[in-house]
Amino acid sequence: MLHHSVLFRNVRWTRILALSMLGLVLCVSGCRKDKDFQGEMSAEELYQQATKSLNARNWGRAASAYKALQTRYPFGRYTEQSMLDLSYVYFKGGQPENALSTLDRFIRTYPAHPSVDYAYYLKGLVNYEQNLGFLEKMMPERVRDRDQSMASDSFMDFSELIRRFPDSRYVPDARQRMIFLRNNLAAYEITVAEYYMRRKAYIAAANRARYALETYPNTPQNAQALIVLHKAYTELDLPDLAESSMAVLALNYPDNYYVLGKKKKRSWADRLWPFD
C-alpha cells in the first residue's frame, strides 16, 4: 500500500513538472513568435500594437513595441510620436529617469515638433510626481520637509513651457501646479531658516528667509519669512534691519500673531503716550 502511495506521488509530481515545462516552453515560444511577428510589421502596425498595449496599461509590452518601432524605423512620423508615447509609458511604469531622458532626447531631436509643448509639460509632470510620494499625497504638509530638487526642476520645466508656448493647452494645468510647487518651495526655505534659528546660525537663517521672499513672492510663507528676518537681525544686533522687517510685516500682515504679540508687549509708559 505504501509502495502504491509513493508511486502515485511520484507520478503526480512528474505530471506537474511536465506541465510546468510545457508552460515555460509555450511562454518562450510565444515571446519568440511575438518578436518574430514584430519584425514583419510595418511602422504603422507596430505603432498600433504599442498603442493598444498602452491603452491596456500593459507598460512593459507597450515599451517593448515602441522601442522595436524606433529600432526598425528610426525616421518617420510614427517614430517621432512613439518617443513621446514611450516617455509616458516609462512615466506610468515607474521609470522616471528613462522618461526624462527620452523627453530630453525628443526635445533635442525635434525642437519644432507640433507636440514639443507636451514634452515640456510631461517633463514637469514627471518631476512633480517624483516630489510627491504616497504619504505626501495623503498629507501634503509633509512635502516641505523633503529635498526639493525635483520640485525645483518641475517648477522650471513648467516655467519653460509657459515661456515658450503661452497658448498651449497644457498651460492652465501647469500654472496650477506651479502655485503648489512655489508655495512648498517657499515653505521649505522657511523650514530650513527656522532650523538655522534653532542652531543660532542667524546669518544663514536671514539669508534663507530673504531668499524665500525674493524668489517666491506672494506666498503664504512671506509673513513667516519676515518674522525670521526680524528675529535674526535682532539677534545679530542689527536694529535698523530688524525694525524694517517688522514694519513690512505690520504693514502687510497687521493681524499676524507676531505683530499682535509685539503690540501687546508695549510698556506701561508707551501705552500712556500714544503719539508714535
Residue-wise pLDDT for 205-261, tens only, equals 999 999 999 999 999 999 999 999 999 999 999 999 999 999 999 999 999 999 988
Range of the domain at 81: 42-93
Within a domain: residue 151?
Answer: no
Within a domain: residue 74?
Answer: yes
Within a domain: residue 144?
Answer: no
Tally of structural domains, the chain:
1
Residue-wise pLDDT for 157-197, tens only, equals 999 999 999 999 999 999 999 999 999 899 999 999 999 99
pLDDT higher than threshold 70 for residue 275: no
Average pLDDT, the chain: 82
Within a domain: residue 250?
Answer: no
| pLDDT for 15 | 58
DSSP string covering the chain: -HHHHHHHHHHHHHHHHHHHHHHHHHHHHHHHHHHHHHHT--HHHHHHHHHHHHHTT-HHHHHHHHHHHHHH--SSHHHHHHHHHHHHHHHHTT-HHHHHHHHHHHHHH-TT-TTHHHHHHHHHHHHHHHH--HHHHH-GGGGGGS--HHHHHHHHHHHHHHHH-TT-TTHHHHHHHHHHHHHHHHHHHHHHHHHHHHTT-HHHHHHHHHHHHHHS-SSTTHHHHHHHHHHHHHHTT-HHHHHHHHHHHHHH-TT-HHHHHHHHT--HHHHH----
Within a domain: residue 150?
Answer: no
Within a domain: residue 198?
Answer: no
Within a domain: residue 172?
Answer: no
Answer with the residue of higher pLDDT: 36 or 154.
154
53-62, 71-80, 205-214, 220-229: the lowest-pLDDT one: 71-80
Within a domain: residue 269?
Answer: no
